[in-house]
């Protein structure tokens, strides 16, 4: 390989050293005017211990460097600017120390900043890098600014910031573009991370990886576009995560993964579009999680998965939802929905403190929403009724016990429908008699029906009902026969009343009521009784009376709340 000295000549390199040294001492910008700058000359100046550099540092513009720039582990305690320059070979600054780095408007093949320490800003606005920008373990005292930059490393890592410590903010906005993965695993960003209007491209892979990152000032990605997965697993975002108008595309995969992330300032995604699953398994999101007018599409799977998450306020008002919405075991403070909440819904184990929107006044719509669970469509699949009871508690707290009762009754009916054999039959009976304990006044109808049946039975069985006081009855019959010179008839309830005017006539309803009702409410003047040997009538009336006692017990238990399951 030809050395820099061979290519430029010793005298040429020395002249460049002198020229660069003068520029560094003066602190004035040096415009190379696209001339070839020997990399060796730049290195010699930066490591010169006798260089009395101006606090403004070495500021170079429009340089053209063809060979590798190796500045590993150097210490230059002043700003280094290489603006609007072209580098035909990699730039290696691993382990180096600078006051400030500025590559604004430059075109580079590769930039290695691993372990670099920069006390001020690192700037590469409007720059183009073909190859990886690697800054693993870098420490930046102020801001990392990549606004308008273009990074090209298709099918690889375009920007590598794992374990970085950035005291200020990280700005990659205003047209920032990366073809390849952008990753900052376990990075610590002391202020805001802004990807406003940025575009990341890594189809079928991970476009942005922020796993275990700590972002103190929030993450702004309004108008952001990503082709590939965006993930921030176990990340901690101290401010707001803003995705207003963002578009994430990872069809049939996970578009956004926030598993176990902590977001202190809430997540706002108004007008957000996701082609793929939006997932925040076990995440803690304080303040709002707002999906107003969002479009969530993952037709073959889950469009939104917030399983085991804790959310202060969830705004479920997307304009389009294609796929399952899973709120399995989610803890939600305030739930806001529209007229038609996104469905199908899986809400087993969820806890909701309050609801807002049309569902607050429309429990039927809430029940229809709960019924959209895709498992409910499978005849052999048993689904939990816990979501019904959880939502019923919300209506009850809001002073709407009638709606709460409807939800709990629907849950009981659903549980019965999922039962089998005798359990299902018992459930049907329980529902029919007292509405599973939520509508105990149904027993009044059954009690009335019982008396009506008893009345009809007695009316049919007149021949089997005879006077209870036989002596008085016969005397009354004989006296009437003698007075009318007629023959006395066999004496039963069917005997015409005019044939025994001195003995009370039998009334079928009164007889049935006295036979079925408790002694405390029935008449004590009993003139008629069941004939000895009429066992069928005796058994029938006894069964009806037993049924009546059961109904009375159910009525009392239902009214007092002993039957209700809350």
Bridge pairing between strands 465-467 and 528-530:
antiparallel
pLDDT of 307: 97
Q: Which two tokens stand for residue 34?
A: 């696209």
Q: Does the pTM of the predicted model rise above 0.85?
A: no
Contact (CB, 8 A) for 270 and 293: yes
Each residue's pLDDT, cut to its tens digit, for the chain (566 residues) gives 344 445 556 778 999 999 999 999 999 999 998 789 999 999 999 999 999 999 999 999 999 999 999 999 999 999 999 999 999 999 999 999 999 999 999 999 999 999 999 999 999 999 999 999 999 999 999 999 999 999 999 999 999 999 999 999 999 999 999 999 999 999 999 999 999 999 999 999 999 999 999 999 999 999 999 999 999 999 999 999 999 999 999 999 999 999 999 999 999 999 999 999 999 999 999 999 999 999 999 999 999 999 999 999 999 999 999 999 999 999 999 999 998 999 999 999 999 999 999 999 999 999 999 999 987 666 566 788 999 999 999 999 999 999 998 998 888 888 888 888 888 787 777 777 777 777 777 778 888 888 899 889 888 888 888 888 888 888 888 787 777 766 656 788 888 888 788 888 888 888 888 888 775 555 655 788 888 888 888 888 888 888 888 877 877 777 776 665 55
Q: Which two tokens stand for residue 273?
A: 């579009």
- Distance, in Å, from the CA atom of 16 to the CA atom of 12, rounded to the nearest integer, reads 6
Which of helix, strand or coil describes residue 379?
coil
Q: Which of 206, 133, 217, 140 is closest to 176 using CA atoms?
A: 133
Contact (CB, 8 A) for 272 and 246: yes
* 565 CB neighbour count, 10 Å cutoff: 12
Q: Which two tokens stand for residue 241?
A: 């995560």
pLDDT of 546: 86
- Distance, in Å, from the CA atom of 493 to the CA atom of 504, rounded to the nearest integer, reads 10
Place of tokens 């540092």: 57
Q: Where does residue 402 fall: left (phi above 0), alpha (psi -120 to 50 degrees), or beta otherwise?
A: alpha
Place of tokens 């900052």: 184
Q: What DSSP assignment string belongs to 241-310?
A: EE-TT-EEEEEEEEEEE-TT-EETT-EE-TT-EEEEEEE-TT-EEEEEEE-TT-EEEEEEEEEEE-TT-E
* 458 CB neighbour count, 10 Å cutoff: 27
Q: How many residues does the chain have?
A: 566
Contact (CB, 8 A) for 157 and 178: no
- Distance, in Å, from the CA atom of 293 to the CA atom of 319, rounded to the nearest integer, reads 4
Contact (CB, 8 A) for 340 and 362: no
Contact (CB, 8 A) for 363 and 406: yes
Q: What DSSP assignment string belongs to 428-482?
A: HHHHHHHGGGT-TTHHHHHHHHHHHHHHHHHHHTGGGEEESSHHHHHHHHHHHHH
Q: Which residues pair with 209 in a beta bridge?
A: 183, 231
319 backbone dihedrals φ, ψ, rounded to 5°: -85, -30
């Amino acid at each position: 390989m030809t050395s820099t000295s061979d290519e430029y000549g010793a005298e040429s390199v020395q002249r460049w050293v002198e020229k660069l040294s003068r520029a560094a001492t003066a602190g004035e910008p040096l415009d190379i005017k696209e001339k070839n700058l020997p990399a060796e000359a730049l290195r010699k100046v930066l490591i010169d211990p006798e260089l009395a550099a101006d606090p403004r540092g070495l500021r170079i513009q429009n340089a053209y460097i063809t060979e590798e720039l190796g500045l590993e582990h150097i210490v230059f305690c002043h700003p280094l600017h290489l603006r609007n320059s072209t580098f035909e070979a990699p730039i290696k600054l691993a382990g180096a120390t600078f006051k400030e780095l500025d590559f604004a408007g430059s075109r580079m093949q590769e930039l290695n900043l691993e372990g670099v320490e920069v006390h001020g800003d690192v700037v590469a606005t409007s720059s183009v890098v073909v190859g990886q920008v690697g800054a693993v373990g870098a420490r930046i005292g102020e801001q990392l600014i990549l606004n308008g930059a273009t990074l090209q490393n298709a099918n690889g890592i375009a920007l590598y910031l794992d374990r970085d410590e950035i005291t200020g903010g990280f700005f990659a906005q205003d047209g920032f573009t990366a073809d390849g993965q952008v990753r900052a695993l376990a990075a610590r960003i002391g202020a805001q991370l802004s990807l406003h209007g940025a575009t990341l491209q890594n189809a079928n892979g991970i476009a942005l990886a922020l796993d275990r990152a700590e972002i103190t000032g929030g993450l702004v990605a309004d108008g952001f576009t990503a082709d590939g997965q965006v993930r921030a697993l176990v990340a901690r975002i101290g401010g707001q995560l803003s995705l207003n108008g963002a578009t994430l595309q990872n069809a049939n995969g996970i578009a956004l993964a926030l598993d176990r992330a902590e977001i202190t300032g809430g997540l706002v995604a108004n007008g957000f579009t996701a082609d793929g699953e939006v997932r925040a398994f076990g995440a803690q999101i304080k303040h709002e999680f707002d999906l107003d007018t969002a479009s969530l599409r993952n037709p073959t799977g889950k469009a939104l998965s917030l399983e085991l998450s804790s959310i202060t306020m969830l705004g479920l008002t997307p304009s389009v939802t294609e796929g399952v919405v899973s709120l399995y075991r989610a803890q939600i403070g305030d739930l806001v929905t529209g007229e038609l909440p996104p469905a199908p819904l899986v809400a087993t184990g969820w806890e909701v403190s309050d609801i807002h929107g049309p569902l607050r006044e429309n429990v039927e719509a809430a029940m229809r929403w709960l019924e959209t669970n895709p498992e409910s469509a499978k005849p052999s699949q048993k689904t939990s009724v816990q979501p019904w009871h959880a939502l019923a508690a919300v209506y009850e707290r809001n002073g709407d016990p009638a709606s709460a009762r409807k939800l709990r009754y629907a849950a009981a009916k659903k549980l019965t429908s999922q039962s089998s054999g005798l359990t299902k039959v018992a459930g049907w009976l329980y529902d029919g008699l007292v509405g599973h304990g939520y509508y105990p006044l149904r027993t009044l109808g059954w009690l009335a029906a019982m008396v009506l049946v008893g009345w009809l039975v007695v009316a049919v069985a007149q021949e089997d009902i005879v006077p209870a006081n036989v002596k008085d009855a016969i005397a009354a019959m004989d006296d009437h026969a003698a007075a009318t010179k007629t023959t006395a008839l066999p004496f039963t309830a069917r005997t015409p009343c005019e044939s025994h005017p001195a003995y009370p006539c039998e009334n079928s309803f009164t007889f049935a009521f006295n036979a079925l009702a408790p002694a405390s409410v029935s008449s004590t003047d009993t003139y008629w009784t069941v004939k000895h040997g009429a066992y069928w009538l005796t058994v029938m009336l006894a069964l009806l009376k037993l049924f009546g006692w059961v109904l009375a017990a159910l009525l009392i238990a239902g009214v007092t709340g002993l039957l209700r399951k809350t």
